[in-house]
Amino acid sequence: MPTDLSDEERELVRTVRDFVDRDVRPVARDLEHADTYPEGLIERMKELGVFGLVIDEPYGFGRVSTPCYAQVTEELARGWMSLAGAMGGHTVVAELIAGYGTQEQKEGYLPHMATGELRATMALTEPGGGSDLQAMRTVARRDGDDYVVDGVKTWITNARRSGLIALLCKTDPDATPRHSGISVLLVEKVDGLTVSRDLPKLGYKGVESCELVLQGVRLPSTAVLGGVEGRGFAQMMRGLEVGRIQVAARATGVARAAFDDALRYAQERETFGKPIWKHQSVGNLLADMGTQLTAARQLLMHAARRFDSGSRSDLEAGMAKLFCSEMAMQVALSALRIHGGYGYSTEFDVERYFRDAPLMIVGEGTNEIQRDVIARRLVDAGLPDA
């Protein structure tokens, strides 16, 4: 646990850790295999205050530091990555409203979001756009004092259960440069907004990922985040800094679960008269896994502290997301190899880690895009400060 957490933050992390060990891990396998929405676990997360971690007073219970937020996310993902996903997009939307919203938007949404009574998600990706957000086709056209929105968004987590959507769209399709015509609209469930289908997935079960169709959705001008058009791209890029830290923390949690299971199994399982960890090939895997996990945690905490400094942190967040997600995939594979045939069995959790880990590689901007962003930022600014 990072040494710079306050006593209250340390207690929060311990409470979430206990919740994961007591309530999540015993049921996660069955819920995941049945692809069942974890209603009871989500309710308990609301009680713990997990949905209000980035919402400060007077709208919430007090904002925690980003290192604390990352630790809570890691603990949830250690139990079941889908639980961390259930609060990930919600947190980004809360961050956006807290940082850029009008007074009316803050007062109207944040108190209900802090308790989890109102849950939020963000809608960025489009079927033909992927990580190229500036190529989006969802458009909000002015009609008097209103906007009329048409478009399609995909891979929207919690789309059926969220009451608020932060929608990235074009309010000026002809703007030059293109990003200056992009805005974030705060969309509640209204006529013309349809959750068209749930997308089938390799992993990340339990919580839904959906396609949204907007046909003639009418919104008031007050739906623009911050009340001013054309600032949405910059706003969302700042929101994605914490989003990528969250994904890095999810990956670290999955890797930690895989490592813990593999380390325990390697001590219990014996072949040729000794525990398998004493065989050099298995011991080497464990050594690499532990080293990679420790390095990932340090990079994650560095990005979290950088975000809290108020400085631009897209480079650090991107590095953490890239490294932690690739590490999680490698650690999950190594854990499967250590378990041998049992790692391929649905009776062990290792196969779930192996199916969940790829999401962090392609989610919140693919790692291929991350590498491009990192390279550009390194050319512009050089290595980040230690």
Q: CB within 8 A of 386, min separation 6: which ones?
A: none
User: Distance between CA 57 and CA 342 in Å, rounded?
Assistant: 49
Written as six digits, the tokens of 266 are: 């390697």
* Short-list 89, 91, 83, 4, CA closest to 41: 83
Q: CB within 8 A of 43, min separation 6: which ones?
A: none
Look at phi and psi of residue 105 and say left if phi exceeds 0, alpha if psi is from -120 to 50, else beta.
alpha
Catalytic residue list contains 241: no
User: Distance between CA 16 and CA 30 in Å, rounded?
Assistant: 21
Single-letter code of the amino acid located at 86 = A
- Catalytic pick from 104, 316, 364, 368? 364
Give the number of other CB atoms < 10 A from CB of residue 298.
13
Query: CA end-to-end span of the chain, whole Å?
Result: 19
Written as six digits, the tokens of 10 are: 């340390």
CA dihedral sign, ordered 17, 21, 27, 33: positive
Helix (H, G, I), strand (E, B) or coil at 343: helix
Written as six digits, the tokens of 86 are: 């259930």
User: Is the peptide bond prior to 220 cis by the omega test (within 30 degrees of 0)?
Assistant: no
CB 209, CB 35: distance < 8 Å:
no
Which residues are designated catalytic? 364
